[in-house]
Structure 1
């Protein structure tokens, strides 16, 4: 693939992501301003409910950032993954006219939900930085948050290619995936730290690369030591997921036009 082709595909992908994001807010009174307002409102609710009403604390946390910020720092990572995966089954099926065009690079379609999720994730991250600065807990290490996300993005990419291909043949995938994503949120250390889990379950949690990345992102955001060895293992698993997903998608792609 030459440089011109790569540039064309990147430009096409950026336009599809832009279209996807704009369509989500089309007709809304505040338009794309909701991309900033939604996370801001969510953070304000977290601060009020967990900070003022429940006065909750992170398990075994004696000092440091308030509970609502700890929770929000992990949710940003999970929401990027959840948004991309939940919408992946319809990524190809939603564009039947594109699939039937021989010259269209169909393999970029599963990247559109992930790209849109990343756009929203960027705004969430900026609000997190502002909130950390406002509460006096902003550390230089928080700038490495995007790097800590790398394994999660690769894992989401691989799963998106798998689910987008399956979604063409099995329309029920759009209904099956979201409940599993919800379940995944509760079995991953999003709302609680790993050390709050019974010790006998720790080996199972260590097998979950999503949990490893969320925990790393949270520690990086709050300036705490991170387990970079586990993160590296998650990165390798993410690379394997992306490669396998890409191979599976290209293997299935020849039959898309016939099904759609």
Structure 2
């Protein structure tokens, strides 16, 4: 019995500790996932097509029929819309994160990672970082399309870059929710479905596509305190786009701070839960 136990201990490498080593392990996993993405370009292409379709459809189907501050101008609505489309794009990438992790679990790749002497959280951190890079590329394409349909920045490049930083931070935060979902289901298909079900109410019960002041009072209250709405409102202010909120809710009065706080809280909470789920699965 003792000999068997010693043999198991010798063949099961212990994860190396330390923040520096954890960062290195995470970057290695991120690089592996980025290389994998380049070998399956259709995933990146299809991921870019969907948000582009949203821009075109919302701009030309709803433009001119939705009031923004009493103005029904199509150009005004396009400028109002784009912050919501940007935020929707970074959050919908969550479903892909969850499906990717579920697929790795299903194929046994995660089990192979567990046999290596690496930080336990690095596998998930590397995956979410790689997904963040893909999301950033999608945003670049989306900005080009938005400029073509008439969207403009009015507050300068530094504030615009700050807005994109908030968007990517929100996307990274939501990717940890996707990671937890991916670890909690048995198949990639279930992860995709589970990743989208909760995203639709989060994105549509918000100020992304319509002014929340046009909603019923109880629904407006939910929309104003929605983390998604805080980021959308912060981006509108930083871009200089129309849609100044008249709400007294704190997130709408201080949307930049609200966006930062919400994103950090989500990252801390769901990263902790995801890594714990990963470790329990490893056990």
Q: Cα RMSD (Å) of the superposition?
A: 3.6
- In the TM superposition, 1:161-172 aligns within 5 A as 161-167=179-185, 172=190
> 1:145: Cα distance to partner?
1.9
Greater radius of gyration (CA): 2
> 1:70: Cα distance to partner?
2.2
Q: TM-score, normalised by structure 1?
A: 0.74
**Distance of aligned partners of 1:69 and 1:207 in 2 relative to their CA distance in 1, 3 Å threshold:** closer
1:244 aligns with 2:269: yes
Counterpart CA distance in 2 for 1:254 and 1:37 is 36
**Distance of aligned partners of 1:139 and 1:71 in 2 relative to their CA distance in 1, 3 Å threshold:** same
1:99 aligns with 2:108: no
**Distance of aligned partners of 1:18 and 1:160 in 2 relative to their CA distance in 1, 3 Å threshold:** same
Question: Of the candidates 175, 188, 193, which is equivalent to residue 206 of structure 2?
Answer: 188
Question: Of the candidates 246, 257, 268, which is equivalent to residue 232 of structure 1?
Answer: 257
**Distance of aligned partners of 1:185 and 1:249 in 2 relative to their CA distance in 1, 3 Å threshold:** closer
**Distance of aligned partners of 1:234 and 1:216 in 2 relative to their CA distance in 1, 3 Å threshold:** closer
Question: Of the candidates 70, 73, 81, which is equivalent to residue 71 of structure 1?
Answer: 81
Could you say which residue in structure 2 is the equivalent of 1:116? 134
Counterpart CA distance in 1 for 2:49 and 2:224 is 35
SS of 2:185 mapped into structure 1: helix
Question: Any idea what the Cα deviations from partners look like across 1:167-226, whole Å, max 9, x if unmatched?
Answer: 359974432332322233221222112222233443322321111112222332234668
Number of aligned positions between the proteins: 247
Counterpart CA distance in 1 for 2:49 and 2:262 is 34
Counterpart CA distance in 2 for 1:94 and 1:169 is 7
Higher mean alpha-carbon deviation, 207-216 vs 153-162, is at 153-162
> 1:25: Cα distance to partner?
1.4
Counterpart CA distance in 1 for 2:47 and 2:183 is 29
Contact 1:91 1:113 in 2 (8 A): no
**Distance of aligned partners of 1:107 and 1:182 in 2 relative to their CA distance in 1, 3 Å threshold:** same
> 1:242: Cα distance to partner?
1.1
Counterpart CA distance in 2 for 1:110 and 1:231 is 27
Counterpart CA distance in 1 for 2:223 and 2:151 is 31
> 1:234: Cα distance to partner?
3.5
Q: TM-score, normalised by structure 2?
A: 0.69
Counterpart CA distance in 1 for 2:268 and 2:133 is 18
Contact 1:161 1:248 in 2 (8 A): no
Question: Of the candidates 1, 23, 34, which is equivalent to residue 6 of structure 1?
Answer: 23
Higher mean alpha-carbon deviation, 234-243 vs 108-117, is at 108-117
> Any unmatched runs of 5+ in structure 1?
27-31
Counterpart CA distance in 2 for 1:135 and 1:250 is 40
Question: Of the candidates 190, 196, 208, which is equivalent to residue 226 of structure 2?
Answer: 208
Counterpart CA distance in 2 for 1:193 and 1:71 is 10
Could you say which residue in structure 2 is the equivalent of 1:60? 69
